Structure 1
Amino acid sequence: MRSPQLRDATSPTGCALTATTALARLPALAPCLPEFSDIVPWPRRRGCRADAVVGWGQRPTTARARQWALRHQLPFIALEEGFLRSWGPAAEGYASHSLVVDHSGIYYDASAPSDLESLIEHGRISPEDELRASGLIARLRHSRLSKVNHAPDIPLPASPRPRVLVVDQTRNDASIVGGLADRQRFHQMLDHALTRHPDADILVKVHPEVIAGRRQGHLEHAGRHPRCQLLADDINPWALFDAVQAVHVVTSQLGFEALLAGLPVTCHGLPFYAGWGLTTDHLRCPRRHRRASLPRLFAAAYLHYSRYANPYTGAPSTLEDTLDLLEDQQRHIDAGRGHWRCHGLSRWKQRFVGDFLGPKACVSHHSQGRFEPSAVATSTERQLLWGSQIPAATGVSRMEDGFLRSVGLGIDLVRPLSLVIDRCGIHYDPGRPSELERLIAHGRFSPRELARAARLIQQLRQHKLSKYNPHHEPSRLPELPGNRPRLLVVGQVESDASVRLGAGRIRTNAQLLREVRRTRPDAFIVYRPHPDVMAGVRQGAQVSSDDWDRLVADVDITTLIDRVDEVHTMTSLTGFEALIRERRVVTYGMPFYAGWGLTQDHVPAPDRRGRKISLEQLVVAALIRYPRYVDPCSRQLINVETAVQLLASARQNPPELTLFQRLYRLTRRYLHGPY
């Protein structure tokens, strides 16, 4: 079940004063504090009438802010990173997706009550909340997400002996003192694990910075024991959980994640999840009387106590939507790991290709002339070409613009928000299978994905988004008759690879118009030339005005689709955009969306396309799984829903063409060169 933010953001009032200037700049802060209409940094405190003071946990930087709040009789609200933070760490520029907001204490300080402790002990957590929590726990197990998720998910080598995980922490971690522990507790934990598990090997997880000498831990000496092995490399916690039979912690969050993985956990301090009957505890908290189930604990911590935001759009979010974003980031980053050798890309494209391959990719660029197809099979690098370059090459990946590209035309060198990388072929070439075609033909689509696609369809309709999203004035809409079928015929650049490779008997715009006129003499035909042709930067043959009733060039394509009954096209993406808007689509070629039972096709589909699918299944494959999306500001991979919001926002204030772009247009118009 999907639910909105727990706090009502419809009528925010008041002002929140932040303990530091840096905190006020946190992208997640405003959307995670919807009850405040204004966030004011500390230097402006004397000019504002604050209603509350917010600061970061129990850090020393909050001391003066706490005193100021006490002196002015204002509540102090403690913030911390949420339990599901981001893909990468803050040091690498990854902003937090979640915060915890505590009015009475902070979750890692067991010396005093916190909002989280009160939620677990006394909170109204409904059976529906616990059911939702159970589903989310299963989802976290499946997606193997943790607080921060950049560490590789690599299985540990098999062992003939049982293994137990002991988790070290860095010194001066606030959760150690807050969990009523000290340095001695870590030594006692190691001794207890060795005694409690006499036949097991002890894996001691230490922080990588401890081994590097940049920080201090507590158990660096453990490696001297014959049954202990230090693990210092970054590794996905779920890979550790797969390899061990039990987990010992002092206060680390890994203990709670181990509970989610179904492992027995022994706590040698008092983290927030201890004292509720789920762990073996060496310390006791007299305030924690309740026997809580794991779903209740999860619902309290992840659903009620934590607040979520999309750091790329600055909008409030939910745990489910945050998981969608992190799972998509993880999937594309994992797919991009390794060395890539890119051939024949322009300098402009070289600037952003690496962003779409992700932070774990190592990219080198080479001229097209140096590409040797015979060397692909023996190379350890993956080869990447743009589109249909070197069509005979096999064993390479191909890159193209995505289906929700930008606000503005690619021909104007507008940076794309989406690209596709296809390891099999490319989506507009029906002559051979593409990765998209295989996704559609053989993909298994979960109910959650189909529901996500249905919401995405509604968002695309609501925001009137298409591939390029140029800005058009509503006053330019044409009047169309209501007493005749209204058909939109979509013009294309006839030299485009999608026409060369995907068209059938009809291969020009003039032929398409004549065929539509011949077969539908009763219809009112609206013809829309390709935007690049109208801009004068791509070549296109003239068509006879006898074959259309209205030529429309400067109207937004989604608005035009909404005004017609049918869309007729050779291979244009407009046909897919018309399907999203529930219009009848007739194809005269074989675009990726044809041959699946959703369109009326004049070209027989390949035998590979025998599956009948729903629109939601097509959208999952074509917009959620197949493309990669990148935020142009952070240059980090995002998901389609985030891209939709960024496009919708950018379209409200479309940028004007720069002087360089205008000069580039004039040059292209003069030369009529290929893109």
Structure 2
Amino acid sequence: MARERFADLPDTLYVWSFPVWKWRYLRRCFPGNRLRFVRSVDAIPARATLILWGLTPIPEGMPPEATILRMEDGFLRSVGLGAELTRPLSWVVDRLGMYYDARTPSELERILSTTEFSNEELERAEHLRAQIVAAGVSKYNVGLGVWQRPAGVERVLIVPGQVESDAAIHSATPCFRGNLELLRRVRAANPDAYIVYKPHPDVEAGLRAAGKREDEADGFCDEVLRGVPMEAVLAVVDEVHTLTSLAGFEGLLRGRKVHCYGQPFYAGWGLTTDHCPIPRRQRRLSLDALVAGTLIRYPTYIGRRGPINVEDALAELIRWKHSHQGRTRWWREPYRWILRRAIGVR
């Protein structure tokens, strides 16, 4: 589906300042196009199509007639963290904005706002959702620990931590931001619930800095949970309380109640409790319509030889996850140490 949206792209695409390790995967994403990797605006002709990563600013001096495409990780990505340069199975490509930037509409928002999904597409989404839940798949599929729901507790809430310096926080949390403030508000509104706080996996791995005063999280929750896969936690909790984390979307897939305190892409469609509403989103969607737009129509899935469909990507992700079950590669900790030194996280 995503490839059909970009059938009109010119033969040559210009790529601005992408990390070298992503180049080969980008070529697989656009197998019918010539890619020119540029670092000077002088190399970009008028009316060029330029690819930027995430919310990278448009380079100064960019020809005003140029078309901008923005790319980011998809929602079923890999077994391992992107920060560790793990091969991606999906990316999203967007002409309008970026799905996590609620300040302006993205192509995903346009798809969700306007598309009349066919019965066949909704059935496909329902089947896809069932496969994801049955296989216990999430975005990164990291963590090997196990966790059991506390016995005799009526309500268990998960609050997923986020990297506070990420664009997803700054561009979609107009009401407030910060992991500790989120925890404080959730605890105040749910004094009798059992609240679990799970730091972001990049923070757990030491690859990104923890949020402001995040070390005080245990003062506002019953348990700080580390080393356990998000999908294993979502399987046994009752509610997800989040700013904009993808864990909220993954919670919806598993039938959990989801409270949004920011403005993630899956909020505003009648499926979540929105504490920071998005007035321009008025349409009510079924869960399968949300899945059809988010996982079928919007991303580009990348196999080893080029684009593939979501079902093939999910099958590969499941095989990948099973082949790595219980394994820790010998180079991971030395590599993480090098990354920590490089980015200044201790």
Q: Same fold (TM over 0.5)?
A: yes
- What's the offset of the Cα at 1:656? 4.1
1:538 matched to which residue of 2? 208
1:355 matched to which residue of 2? 28
Counterpart code for 1:668: L
Give the distance between the partners of 1:395 and 1:337, measured in 2 at CA.
10
Alignment pair present for 1:459 and 2:126: no
- What's the offset of the Cα at 1:503? 1.2
For structure 2, the residue ranges without an aligned partner over 5 or more in a row are none
| Superposition RMSD in Å | 2.1
Whether the 8 Å CA contact 1:509–1:543 is kept in 2: the answer is: no
1:487 matched to which residue of 2? 157
Whether the 8 Å CA contact 1:499–1:571 is kept in 2: the answer is: yes
- What's the offset of the Cα at 1:662? 4.0
Match of 2:185 among 505, 515, 520: 515
- What's the offset of the Cα at 1:333? 7.0
Counterpart mapping for 1:219-230 below 5 A: none
Secondary structure at 2:27's aligned position in 1? Answer: helix
1:426-472 alpha-carbon deviations (Å, 9 max, x no partner): 00001111000000001121111001000001000110111001252
1:669 matched to which residue of 2? 340
2:46 matched to which residue of 1? 379
1:161 matched to which residue of 2? none
Secondary structure at 1:521's aligned position in 2? Answer: coil
Give the distance between the partners of 1:526 and 1:564, measured in 2 at CA.
9
In structure 2, the CA distance between the partners of 1:616 and 1:337, relative to structure 1 (3 Å rule), is farther
Counterpart mapping for 1:330-369 below 5 A: 331=4, 334=7, 338-357=11-30, 359-367=31-39
In structure 2, the CA distance between the partners of 1:639 and 1:506, relative to structure 1 (3 Å rule), is same
Alignment pair present for 1:504 and 2:177: no
For structure 1, the residue ranges without an aligned partner over 5 or more in a row are 1-327
Alignment pair present for 1:639 and 2:309: yes
Whether the 8 Å CA contact 1:329–1:639 is kept in 2: the answer is: no
Give the distance between the partners of 1:518 and 1:447, measured in 2 at CA.
43
Counterpart mapping for 1:56-75 below 5 A: none
Alignment pair present for 1:390 and 2:60: no
Counterpart mapping for 1:441-460 below 5 A: 441-460=113-132
Whether the 8 Å CA contact 1:470–1:556 is kept in 2: the answer is: yes
Whether the 8 Å CA contact 2:126–2:288 is kept in 1: the answer is: yes
Secondary structure at 1:396's aligned position in 2? Answer: strand
2:276 matched to which residue of 1? 603
Counterpart code for 1:556: P
1:204-251 alpha-carbon deviations (Å, 9 max, x no partner): xxxxxxxxxxxxxxxxxxxxxxxxxxxxxxxxxxxxxxxxxxxxxxxx
Alignment pair present for 1:648 and 2:315: no
Give the distance between the partners of 1:395 and 1:443, measured in 2 at CA.
24
Match of 1:414 among 76, 82, 86: 86
TM-score (norm 2): 0.91
Give the distance between the partners of 2:311 and 2:168, measured in 1 at CA.
27
1:581 matched to which residue of 2? 254
Give the distance between the partners of 2:152 and 2:279, measured in 1 at CA.
37
1:310-362 alpha-carbon deviations (Å, 9 max, x no partner): xxxxxxxxxxxxxxxxxx486267355521100010111122111112x2111
Secondary structure at 1:348's aligned position in 2? Answer: helix
Give the distance between the partners of 1:443 and 1:401, measured in 2 at CA.
23
Give the distance between the partners of 1:329 and 1:547, measured in 2 at CA.
42
Counterpart code for 1:603: C
Give the distance between the partners of 2:21 and 2:335, measured in 1 at CA.
13
- What's the offset of the Cα at 1:387? 0.1
Match of 1:559 among 232, 243, 250: 232
- What's the offset of the Cα at 1:556? 1.3
- What's the offset of the Cα at 1:559? 1.3
Give the distance between the partners of 1:336 and 1:650, measured in 2 at CA.
32
In structure 2, the CA distance between the partners of 1:354 and 1:332, relative to structure 1 (3 Å rule), is farther
Whether the 8 Å CA contact 1:513–1:548 is kept in 2: the answer is: yes
* Number of residue pairs the alignment of both structures matches: 335
Counterpart mapping for 1:402-441 below 5 A: 402-441=74-113
Counterpart code for 2:259: V
Give the distance between the partners of 1:621 and 1:641, measured in 2 at CA.
15
Secondary structure at 2:296's aligned position in 1? Answer: helix
Counterpart code for 1:520: N
Whether the 8 Å CA contact 2:10–2:49 is kept in 1: the answer is: no
- What's the offset of the Cα at 1:653? 1.1
In structure 2, the CA distance between the partners of 1:409 and 1:496, relative to structure 1 (3 Å rule), is same
- What's the offset of the Cα at 1:668? 2.2
TM-score (norm 1): 0.48
In structure 2, the CA distance between the partners of 1:621 and 1:613, relative to structure 1 (3 Å rule), is same
Whether the 8 Å CA contact 1:337–1:360 is kept in 2: the answer is: no
In structure 2, the CA distance between the partners of 1:371 and 1:444, relative to structure 1 (3 Å rule), is farther
Which of the two has higher C-alpha Rg? 1
